[in-house]
Structure 1
């Protein structure tokens, strides 16, 4: 937003934007959209089903309708088509998990002043997650990756690669999509042991168990063996959680696994060199400040320099139309 667009009205609108966020989170957390499904129900009928208060739920339902997240007809509420697709658990396109991950981050953002003053997190994202939060995080990352992976696979050329390392790849969403796009490719997801059951379930869901494997691995504390050699390495959204020194170390580790001529591919929210744009990576850096010890978004020049220091050449940026300042940086092993 340019300077002449800021005024008391726009400032207050931005300041109160969390009202809308919290309304969405509440609707998803209470399962309102899933409960409605294809039905049209009154506030009292909904309250009876979830053992809630008709007055409180009526106010919430009206607010959701005012945001066009629900359709109101007389005294009944129903799901519009997009809500059926994205906000009901039975839908294969459900994105409620990532919305709940955002909900769980609110407690950190409300203490952002403490994080900014101290230069340290107000909570540790990994250590402080309960079971529900961990599920929201893992499934939310799957939600996010599922939306972008097809476009990424179209933009990245792996036609000359037979083996792929997906480092810190969680459920292997990108590895799966790369293998679907490239019939000759086999991939291995290297991630924490606790992620394996979820990853195996997603790999099996996509019928890719014969081409995508899982290896328990901590990319900070573990080292690769001489047998770990690949034609390409994929690092998607793992560097922003680490310090510059740790990010450089991870890039060096991954680069060392590549055959000569192999490709290292970094997928991140990428800042301009001035660090004040694009907006989403700049805000994402604040999120990392609040929940990690040293994490932040990095600029193209910073990541490119780290790649050069690891012996990579022909470094280039691959844009695939992401609206959040996300892109892929490719480097070739000399």
Structure 2
């Protein structure tokens, strides 16, 4: 049973206004404030000039970011906090600004959540430019996966496995780390053609172009190519699809896995009561707003796997930073 919070009036008001903080962070990233400051110590005038902003507007935002602890203000000069320098300056290898910009791009839809609930349909959202939005989404997913994939690949035993299907694998982050951890493994990233240039660049960067290939297609429509496989990895795919689409995706995946092969589902998995953990429950609303998917419970995913003939289903001990988890089974 989920432990429920004893809410106070102050708690409710803090949650209701919490988007102020989110929007301030997103504006700081979009304007390039943290990158402009980087490891320097700049005046209001210097920062406003660098980001091409009005000084009055810049001062309000810089002071708010300082109040949040993202900047440090001393004698009318500003510098990044250690966390901002590490994660919010685009010059840092640990930059997470792309996923923050993705959150900015979906903000309009969240403001109309009540309409999505009434209609049960996604919200038609404003476009910030298809290429820019795609870049932010792909890079955001890459940055997040880079923080998780090394841990996943070290915890999952793929010794003896020869060929991995990374379905909807985007830039191939998980394929890369599974192959790095398993020298005899090869992989195929199956995703839409628009993802291929980014995937090829990323795979080549890790020196794995001879072991990881890309197959273009829409797994909801096209047959899965590149098989047969003896292991399949489906990371954050199911939540973007309706139940019947999820079943079809799993069925198609099983069709290209050899008997005795392993299938792994990585997603934001709800408890069977569906009221916890909090992040998967909230993420289900994000899917309601943006597409026809949702977060699925463990029971629902196990049922899909069993319907596809999967046996020996178990939940791996891995737990991701936003309560993502992994279900495994044998074909």
Superposition TM-score tier, normalisation by shorter sequence:
over 0.9
d(CA) in 1 for partners of 2:231 and 2:136? 30
TM-score by length of 1: 0.95
Q: Deviations over 1:116-170 (max 9, x none)?
A: 0000001279x99622111111101101111111111122111120100000000
State whether structure 2 residue 202 is matched by structure 1 residue 216. Answer: no
Q: 1:92 to 1:3 in 2, by over 3 A?
A: closer
1:304 alignment partner, one of 298, 302, 305:
302
Structure 1 residue 204, shift from structure 2 partner: 1.2
SS at match of 2:305: helix
In structure 2, what is the equivalent of residue 15 of structure 1? Answer: 16
* Alignment gaps of 5+ in structure 1: none
Q: CA RMSD in A?
A: 1.6
Please show how residues 102-181 of structure 1 align to structure 2 within 5 Å.
Answer: 102-123=103-124, 130-181=130-181
**Contact 1:155–1:318 (CA<8 Å) still a contact in 2?**
no
Q: 1:4 to 1:109 in 2, by over 3 A?
A: closer
SS at match of 1:5: coil
Q: Deviations over 1:266-324 (max 9, x none)?
A: 000000111111100000000000010x2000011110111111111000001323232
**Contact 2:106–2:125 (CA<8 Å) still a contact in 1?**
no
Structure 1 residue 4, shift from structure 2 partner: 6.0
d(CA) in 1 for partners of 2:159 and 2:258? 15
Q: 1:128 to 1:298 in 2, by over 3 A?
A: farther
Structure 1 residue 28, shift from structure 2 partner: 0.3
In structure 2, what is the equivalent of residue 201 of structure 1? Answer: 201
In structure 2, what is the equivalent of residue 313 of structure 1? Answer: 311
d(CA) in 2 for partners of 1:4 and 1:298? 23
d(CA) in 2 for partners of 1:202 and 1:215? 15
d(CA) in 2 for partners of 1:279 and 1:99? 20
d(CA) in 2 for partners of 1:144 and 1:169? 13
d(CA) in 2 for partners of 1:124 and 1:168? 24
State whether structure 2 residue 87 is matched by structure 1 residue 86. Answer: yes
Q: 1:240 to 1:79 in 2, by over 3 A?
A: same
Higher alpha-carbon deviation: 263-272 or 315-324 = 315-324
TM-score by length of 2: 0.96
Higher alpha-carbon deviation: 230-239 or 149-158 = 149-158
**Contact 2:109–2:125 (CA<8 Å) still a contact in 1?**
no
d(CA) in 1 for partners of 2:129 and 2:151? 31
Q: 1:208 to 1:249 in 2, by over 3 A?
A: same
State whether structure 2 residue 279 is matched by structure 1 residue 256. Answer: no
In structure 1, what is the equivalent of residue 280 of structure 2? Answer: 281
Q: Deviations over 1:177-203 (max 9, x none)?
A: 100111111111000001000111111
d(CA) in 1 for partners of 2:50 and 2:284? 41
The size of the alignment, in residue pairs, is 330
**Contact 2:162–2:186 (CA<8 Å) still a contact in 1?**
yes
Structure 1 residue 217, shift from structure 2 partner: 1.5
In structure 2, what is the equivalent of residue 60 of structure 1? Answer: 61
Higher alpha-carbon deviation: 109-118 or 203-212 = 203-212
